[in-house]
Copies of this chain bind each other. A is one copy, B any other.
Amino acid sequence: MTTVILLGAGNVATHLYKAFSTAENISVTQWYNRTRESIKTYANEVEITDSLDELKEADLYIMAVSDDSIEQLSKDLPFTNRLVAHTSGSVSMHALDKKNDIAVFYPLQTFSKDAEITFSEVPICIEAIDKDHRKFLKTLANDLGCKSYKISTSQRQSLHLAAVFVNNFTNQLYRIGHEICESKSVEFEILKPLIQETAKKVQEMSPYRAQTGPARRNDKKTIKRQLKLIENEEHKTIYEVLTDSIKRTHGFPPTPKRRVKKDQE
């Protein structure tokens, strides 16, 4: 039985707690948070604490706390030579205090407390100095039913950047779709199946091959007409920038620039 102690009680810690408690070979022996409030509902399933001094011994300490607090909290840990991992996509492993063995256990997914997640479908990116620790964390990921990947700091940071593109920026394109619909009193509902199909397509086909639409065909007439249709200047800029990006990817020259207004020159 692998023993784990969780630190933090946010989105990631909560999902990790649920996944760990249903896994057969893993036991969460303690759950720490600086404030008891957010974990007190779990007090009859697991030992909870808000004091670092009360922390017991365990095979692994997972710090799922805000990026900015990782460094200080790892300094404040009142023990040494134990395995401590953070869960961040962007913080260096070396932000963790060297008095303990350090590692990263980064679940690449978007978590919010109320949204259900099939945890076994979450890819786990693993980093550790020691080979045995990597193996240990890989087994832990396996026990959760997850695929795991050995990743360097620089690879993890690039993955996190790529995640911003495919998650946050994509979500903003959904938002713009929503705004365009609203401005014409059309239900955003109508776009939802397309949104799902677009994401589904690249599960089996490369995004390069999956591309369609006016920019992919270099259909100048449609591009020009759509640009005229867009009322919002910001949406227009995004349309141009992404149209040019698609064109470049597929070997077409960029669209000639719009005339810039005098006072912007």
Contact = CB atoms under 8 A, between A and B. Distances in A.
A228 to B, nearest CB: 10
Contacts of A160: 226
Contacts of A174: 165-166, 170, 202, 207, 210
Interface in A227-243: 229-230, 234-235, 237-239, 241-242
Interface residues of A, number: 89
Nearest to A176: B165
A181 interface: yes
A131 interface: no
A35 interface: no
Copies of this chain, complex-wide, total 2
Nearest to A158: B184
Interface in A185-219: 185-203, 205-208, 210-216
Given A176-B245, A199-B196, A207-B172, A226 B187 contact: no
19 contacts: A110-B197, A123-B190, A155-B184, A159-B186, A159-B191, A161-B229, A162-B177, A166-B173, A168-B212, A168-B216, A168-B242, A171-B207, A171-B211, A172-B211, A172-B245, A173-B242, A174-B202, A192-B203, A196-B199
